[in-house]
Structure 1
Amino acid sequence: MNKLFNYGLLSALALLSYSCEPDFLEDPVLTNTGTLTSVQFEEAAALDPSLPTGLMSGVYALTFTTGTGGTGGHDDFGMKSYDVFSDMLSGDVALSQSVYGWYRASITEFGAPQDFTFGDNRQVWRYYYRIIRGCNSVIDGLGGMDATPESQANKYTMGQAKALRAHSYFYLANFYQKEYDASEPILPIYRSAADQNGPKVPASEIYDLMESDLTDAIALLDGYNRDNKTEINQDVAKALYAYVLGARGTDYTKAYNMAVQAISNYPVMVGAEVTGGFNNVNTPGWMWGVDLNQDIGLGLISWWGQMDYYSYSYPAYGDLKAIDASLFAQIPANDIRKGQFLNNTAFAQHLMPLFKFYDSDRVHTGTSSIVKADYVYMRVAEMHLMAAEMAAFAGNDGAARVHLKNLVSTRVPDASYIDGLSGQALKDEIYLQTRIELWGEGKSYLAMKRNKATATRGSNHLSFVGEPIPYNDERMTFEIPEGEIQYNPFISTQNQ
């Protein structure tokens, strides 16, 4: 983490000036006189090779910096904000008790997806486009989209920028399109920091850029040994490619191959790790995450501040997030993951994740107002499940069963029941295991869309209990925000 903070925080603060509204054209790299153009950046990078790495560190810092969605809200804390949004939209995370009002009207009662004036539409949009802008600045400074940097260090930096840009477009595409339709215009596309406001382009063009970026990233990151897990390496880039292909649904075999290639360097979390708090980035099964510490200074406005009973947090004071009661009921009693959730007389209806996510001190309301538990962005269990899912969708049930058993056999005493599954029953089991294994990690919404599933909320939700909500329901996607319509002349003249 040292390199990240030697260069990154100043760059991150500068990048906070970006959005797709009036300040869209502000360059995120600041100098004494105001801005640094891409040409100036390229010249400076030639003199100081650490500059591109430093700027990329700043972009990474935005993924866990508060306010990066452009609001002062306590649900605006970087990438993990949208893990919460998506898990609640899918229904797998229940807001089982609401004291302070975060998430209720806008997310769990679907206010934002049905009204473009709700601020959460703007927050999601602004965060991901801010990351894209930062990545574009790095790419421009290294010669642009089609350039291959000369130095190995700059190749690695270019690969990370392209992978993170693809990641941001991937989430935007999922959040703002009901389901993949190649011809439907969905988002503006910006390939350079010099690009100005633009019209929505078809989903196929967005996905083509993601695939191009990730193909380049995988090649550029070959041999890269990262300094810390905050940075994207080749394995993470391959995993992201598997997600993109899975969402697009056009090449399940290639998606399967990408997922399999991403697996080899990481063991699955087992035994005590599964109920050990998910709070240490050095956990071998974590592929991508952030080492948070007191110097970073996150507190209440953080993922831990919204999810953990054992932090200084909203759950500690009554704003409770829980596993959906119906999903919990589907976890076998002898499954180690059943023990991740509290199920006693006092809190039976809440089913809080008191033994999955927690600060290591395990003191109610926390021992400090500063977060020291880490963020997980991706772990290898995802790729075992993705490999199984993509194999099943490609019609390779044998491979699907192998990969599914590789994970499930570490969770239950006997996973032999999987041997008898095929076809839709096998797909359904993979989807269920994905929801159980990755609960609260921001992946159930993506799986819901890939599987074209319907969610029916369990008894511990505060609203819409028992109502079937399909993956392509209007309430499952955000609206292009009011500010974008006002300030982007191309968007304002297109159909919304």
Structure 2
Amino acid sequence: MRKQIYLALTMLVFTLVSCSEEYLENVPTDSISEAAALSSPENMELILEGLHRMMYAQTPLEGATWSRTGESHFIPSLDAIGGSIIHSSPGNGWMSADLAWNMHTNSNSTTLYNFWFQRYHFVASANSIINEIENNNYTYTEQINNILAQSYAYRAWAYWRLVTTFSKGYIIGDPSTDLGVPLLLEKGAPYESAPRGTVQDVYDQIESDINKSVTYFQNASAPDNKSQISINAAYGIKARIALSKGDWSTAAESAELARNGYPIMGESEWLSGFNTYDLSEVIWGGQVIDTETNYFASYFYYVAFAFNGSQNRSNPKLISKELYDAIPDTDYRNQAWLPLAPNTNPSASNDQGGSYLTDPNYDNEDDFWDAWSEIIETYGATTAHNTHPYMNVKFKQENPGSIDPDDVIYMRSSEMVLIEAEAKAMMNDISGAQDALDILGSARDTAFDKTAYATQNALMEQIKWQRKVELWGEGFSYHDAIRWDEAIDHTNSGASFNLYQDGFMQDRPSINDDWIFKIPQQEIDANPYITEAEQN
């Protein structure tokens, strides 16, 4: 796998530089060596640009399957596993294994393997840049500092994604003895892998990397756009890392620094569809290039009601009924889901679809189909799209009813506010947590009263609820449940047991190791340092 990763690196650079006439004058178009890819700061920047694209794109790299790669897939996948995004029907089958907990518990799963493979590609690419610069006589210019800062941030982010997914949660486990993931920090032959080590070993490296990233950013050139990692995004990654291990002070401090300069959105922005990284809150996001879109492997293919793909036409995604019904009338976020949308799909998993005769919200055919028609027209879907109660319209395409690309958002200032609030609540800083929570609560709900949450327990319940509503569909529910040690129980959510099977109810992560992703069987077979006895 290590060899495949490095081959992928050169293939990626070739793809990115193949349009450069100057480069092609000096390098054969059928072969680009790793040395050539790392031969100048400009070429290293091209590697980073490849990683920016890989964050969202389907990835035709050796060893990976294009249809299940990038955050475009894994953001909604993690929310499906975590129980946040509820599917209304089997649809075309995509993510059915995620819902039923048959994907991450199967060591031969393609999705699981691709998650592992791609994150290690980020690691390998970052290693190449870091080692090239630090082992050679480079002058540390603003450009070089930016390259190093982004490389360290990517490596920290990739290892954090891996260890929080393929190992037991830091807070609920014993990080000094729990098995982590292999730490690979070198580049070049013989491309050896490594043993798993411990969760603490991995976190030590992650924290070292993100701290170096922040340090290099202090004297770095500014990013060109939000696809590139900035110092704010690095602080955001640092806040996430600290939150996941219970380092509350660092989490609060870093989250506040991350959101500086990224004001909370108002109502019109929040309801505009989350389809561009130009929104004021977006700290880090993927600007999807029209000519390099994912189409039917895109983020909006999975989450946007009006996207013209089979995943959505028969399977609009739902919010939990319990969660939605707790949204106050004074909170404009209640407009992001439609609790009274008619259930027009005869294959709906709750067995209430296809007619006003089975839908309890309607008692005549005209009202039933008039409601459907109004939704189709309002949100720009096609006449082939079905609707369902509690369906999501939070995510809207810029060109609804098409398969056109839209941006993918990785980090927003609202998340940082909620990290700050949670961290301060966990430190029992009641007034500090109230003030942080008020930044978001007052922006979303005209009747929000921070003084209603006067204890640590009350604050944490409200913060959890705010995260579940505010960040719905943005990929946080799986890891949140691990950090909070919360079980899954879909009894009153609107999910169907027939569709969810094992995923309908799962005990809390501290006593249920099924929350931990299996190590891919391909890795165990190829890595002499990992045995079957070390499988999760």
Q: Aligning the two structures, in what range does the TM-score lie when normalised by the shorter sequence?
A: 0.7 to 0.9
Contact 2:91 2:311 in 1 (8 A): no
Distance 1:96 1:390 in 2: 35
Q: Which moved more, 1:385-394 or 1:329-338?
A: 329-338
Instruction: Give the C-alpha shift of residue 438 in structure 1.
Output: 0.4
Distance 1:166 1:156, change over 3 A: same
Q: Which moved more, 1:213-222 or 1:321-330?
A: 321-330
Distance 1:54 1:102 in 2: 33
Distance 1:27 1:71, change over 3 A: closer
Q: Which moved more, 1:476-485 or 1:23-32?
A: 23-32
Contact 1:116 1:480 in 2 (8 A): yes
Show CA shifts across 1:237-275 (max 9, x none): 0111111111112x2112111111112211111111111
Instruction: Give the C-alpha shift of residue 93 in structure 1.
Output: 0.7
Instruction: Give the C-alpha shift of residue 115 in structure 1.
Output: 2.3
Distance 1:78 1:470, change over 3 A: same
The match for 1:66 is 58
Q: Choose the corresponding residue for 1:184, options 169, 178, 184.
A: 178
TM-score (norm 1): 0.87
Distance 2:320 2:239 in 1: 27
**2:283 paired with 1:293:** no
Show CA shifts across 1:397-418 (max 9, x none): 2111110011011111111154
Distance 1:328 1:227 in 2: 38
The match for 1:240 is 237
Distance 1:148 1:388 in 2: 42
Show CA shifts across 1:37-92 (max 9, x none): 45x665x22xxx31211111112121122036855464x24112111121111101
Contact 2:259 2:283 in 1 (8 A): no
Q: What does residue range 288-437 of structure 1 map to in structure 2 within 5 Å? A: 288-347=284-343, 350-354=389-393, 356-363=394-401, 366=402, 369-371=403-405, 373-437=406-470
Residue identity opposite 2:268 in structure 1: A
Residue identity opposite 2:283 in structure 1: M
Instruction: Give the C-alpha shift of residue 212 in structure 1.
Output: 0.6
Distance 2:287 2:110 in 1: 29
**2:160 paired with 1:126:** no
Report SS of the residue matched to 1:289.
strand
The match for 1:150 is 140
Name the larger-Rg structure. Answer: 2
The count of residues paired between Structure 1 and Structure 2 equals 462
Q: Choose the corresponding residue for 2:4, options 14, 18, 23.
A: 23
Instruction: Give the C-alpha shift of residue 36 in structure 1.
Output: 2.9
Q: Choose the corresponding residue for 2:94, options 82, 94, 102.
A: 102
Distance 1:294 1:406 in 2: 35
Residue identity opposite 2:140 in structure 1: E
The match for 2:82 is 90
The match for 1:15 is none
Instruction: Give the C-alpha shift of residue 295 in structure 1.
Output: 2.2
Show CA shifts across 1:176-232 (max 9, x none): 113113221221111123352111111111111110111011111125421010001
Instruction: Give the C-alpha shift of residue 307 in structure 1.
Output: 1.6
Contact 2:488 2:504 in 1 (8 A): no
Q: Choose the corresponding residue for 2:531, options 480, 488, 492.
A: 492
The match for 1:454 is 487
Structure 2: 5+ residue stretches without partners: 12-26, 344-360, 362-387
Distance 1:186 1:378 in 2: 25
The match for 2:126 is 135
Show CA shifts across 1:369-410 (max 9, x none): 332x21111111000000000111122121111100110111
Show CA shifts across 1:447-480 (max 9, x none): 2222222232212343258635323433322100
Instruction: Give the C-alpha shift of residue 325 in structure 1.
Output: 2.2
Distance 1:37 1:280 in 2: 34
Contact 1:160 1:233 in 2 (8 A): yes
Contact 1:259 1:386 in 2 (8 A): yes
Residue identity opposite 1:351 in structure 2: Y
Distance 1:312 1:193, change over 3 A: farther
**2:61 paired with 1:55:** no
Residue identity opposite 2:404 in structure 1: I
Residue identity opposite 2:182 in structure 1: P
Distance 2:139 2:200 in 1: 28
Residue identity opposite 1:122 in structure 2: Y
Residue identity opposite 1:88 in structure 2: A
Q: Which moved more, 1:324-333 or 1:422-431?
A: 324-333
Report SS of the residue matched to 1:376.
strand
**2:435 paired with 1:445:** no
Distance 1:203 1:93 in 2: 29
Report SS of the residue matched to 2:103.
helix
The match for 2:222 is 225
Report SS of the residue matched to 1:480.
coil
Distance 1:219 1:147, change over 3 A: farther
Distance 1:91 1:412, change over 3 A: same
Report SS of the residue matched to 1:201.
coil
Q: What does residue range 209-220 of structure 1 map to in structure 2 within 5 Å? A: 209-220=205-216
Residue identity opposite 1:51 in structure 2: N
Report SS of the residue matched to 2:180.
strand
Contact 2:126 2:152 in 1 (8 A): yes
Residue identity opposite 2:519 in structure 1: I
The match for 1:481 is 520
Distance 2:504 2:235 in 1: 38
Contact 1:350 1:460 in 2 (8 A): no
Instruction: Give the C-alpha shift of residue 491 in structure 1.
Output: 1.1
Contact 2:438 2:450 in 1 (8 A): no
Distance 1:73 1:292, change over 3 A: closer
Q: Which moved more, 1:461-470 or 1:471-480?
A: 461-470
Contact 1:77 1:302 in 2 (8 A): no
Instruction: Give the C-alpha shift of residue 430 in structure 1.
Output: 0.6
Superposed CA RMSD: 2.3
Distance 2:222 2:283 in 1: 13
**2:463 paired with 1:469:** no
Distance 1:431 1:224, change over 3 A: farther
